[in-house]
Amino acid sequence: MSSTAAVEARPLTAAGRVNLLGLDEAGLQSLLAELGEKPFRSKQLRQWLHQRQVFDLDAMTDLAKGFRATLKTISEQTLPQAIFDRESSDGTRKWLLALESGQAVETVYIPERDRGTLCVSSQVGCALDCGFCSTGKQGFNRNLTAAEIIGQLHYATQALEAEGRGRRVTNVVLMGMGEPLANFRNVVPATNLMVDPYAWGLSRRRVTLSTVGLVPALYRLAEHSHISLAVSLHAPNDPLRDEIVPINRKYPLRELIPACEHYVDNTPHRCIYWEYVMLDGVNDSQKNARELISLLRGVPSKINLIPFNPFPGSAYRCSPRDRILRFAETLQQAGFITTIRRTRGQDIDGACGQLVGQVINRRNRGKQSAEKADS
Ligand code: SAH
């Protein structure tokens, strides 16, 4: 098959080339097969591109010259570039990264004593419109490519190295802008690269996908990827969840909970991390806590209560601290490991739900609906 055909089957850069950064083991192997090259070149390429972060094909001396020349004609390794870079008083760093198409997404680095977590975006905007999330309020623009998702890890790693303060990424959470399971086709190769020993080599426990719970995609994820799973629950019953997380009308709790149990039963993970945003007077009563206990009884669970981060125009308020503590205590007494998320990076709008990026060209929403349904 000609090299042109090999290029055409994949998402292309503006220059009409393949960005090799977005291809996981299987993706590289199929490209290599089309180019008539041996499959083991895939391992060498992943080591150069991700382990060593070398993009210059001439430097890849263990690859035959002819092969490098072919790659030069069909590929181009580009990273998103920061157009905005801020550090919070608590050390949280946020980058607004420009994409080739003129849009931008946000990536946030959260340092803690024993680890450094990178919060990565999966879409420009989000189609789900959860009432308490500012990203949803921006509308949906497009899915990120796999290269743009893994590119955020490359960019942050390089920027942290340049700081010279010894800070590095030890964990990745797909909790930035967008709904990762609505961009299944690109999120899976990107996360495969994160846990691939010949690429980023992070443990599966240290790469977490956070989803609103698109049920069919959850079953597919158990088949294709074994990363750790966080589910944005936010309500213990359907009427309330229908209101706070509108996709619940399509995938109600009686379908969501079994899909999550199936994930635990069919992957190496021992539990689901449930996220529950604390909204004053909405979902934070003792009755709600008891409902949550019966809903999750028997499901291997860890519960993370998230204090609501307000944003301009938001209709909700955060629950008072003592009510959050009481809610946590009730869950703990029922035997659930429950934590309260410490809000980080609020002064630079880097906290949960404050990521808005720049969603340009929103009039294209209708045109993009096929993509947003890619679950
Ligand atoms: N779409 C995915 C991932 C993005 S949001 C999901 O829904 O899980 C990551 C987490 O931040 C989710 O649990 C989300 O519900 C929460 N979040 C969104 N807006 C928030 C806000 N304003 N305050 C606190 N948490 C918020």
The tens digit of pLDDT for each residue in 92-105 reads 999 999 998 889 99
| The pLDDT of residue 37 is above 50 | yes
Collapsing DSSP states into helix, strand and coil, what is residue 210? strand
| The pLDDT of residue 345 is above 50 | yes
Q: Which of the residues 37, 106, 148, 179 is marked catalytic?
A: 106
Please state whether beta strands 171-174 and 140-143 pair in parallel, antiparallel, or not at all (unpaired).
Answer: unpaired
pLDDT for 365 equals: 42
> Residue 338 in contact with residue 156, Cβ under 8 Å?
no
| The pLDDT of residue 358 is above 60 | no
Model pLDDT for residues 144-194, shown as the tens digit of each residue = 999 999 999 999 999 999 999 999 999 999 999 999 999 999 999 999 999
Model confidence band, residue 313 (pLDDT cutoffs 50, 70, 90)? confident
Model pLDDT for residues 249-285, shown as the tens digit of each residue = 999 999 999 999 999 999 998 899 999 999 999 999 9
Sign of torsion, CA 143 145 150 156? negative
The one-letter code for the residue type at 91 is G
Find out whether the beta carbon of 106 lies less than 6 Å from any atom of ligand 1.
no
The one-letter code for the residue type at 274 is W
Of the residues 210, 241, 324, which should be mutated to test ligand 1's pocket, given the most ligand atoms within 8 Å of the CB? Answer: 210
176 CA: nearest ligand 1 atom: 4
Beta strand spans in the chain (E): 81-87, 93-98, 104-111, 116-119, 123-125, 140-143, 171-174, 207-211, 228-232, 272-278, 301-307, 337-340
Residues in a beta bridge with 302: 273, 337
Model confidence band, residue 342 (pLDDT cutoffs 50, 70, 90)? confident
Q: Give pTM, 2 decimals.
A: 0.92
pLDDT for 360 equals: 47
Of 14, 190, 8, the closest CA to residue 102 belongs to 14
> Ligand 1 centroid vs 368 CA: distance in angstroms?
22
Find out whether the beta carbon of 175 lies less than 6 Å from any atom of ligand 1.
yes
To the nearest 10°, the Cα dihedral for 106, 174, 190, 136? -60
What residue has token string 């080591």?
Answer: 47
Find out whether the beta carbon of 305 lies less than 6 Å from any atom of ligand 1.
no
Domains in the chain, ordered, with CATH? 3-76 (1.10.150.530), 81-360 (3.20.20.70)
Averaged pLDDT for residues 327-356: 84
Write the residue with the smallest CA distance to atom 25 of ligand 1.
352
Answer yes or no: 106 catalytic. yes
Percent of the chain with pLDDT over 90: 80
Model confidence band, residue 6 (pLDDT cutoffs 50, 70, 90)? low
> Ligand 1 centroid vs 276 CA: distance in angstroms?
9
Find out whether the beta carbon of 352 lies less than 6 Å from any atom of ligand 1.
yes
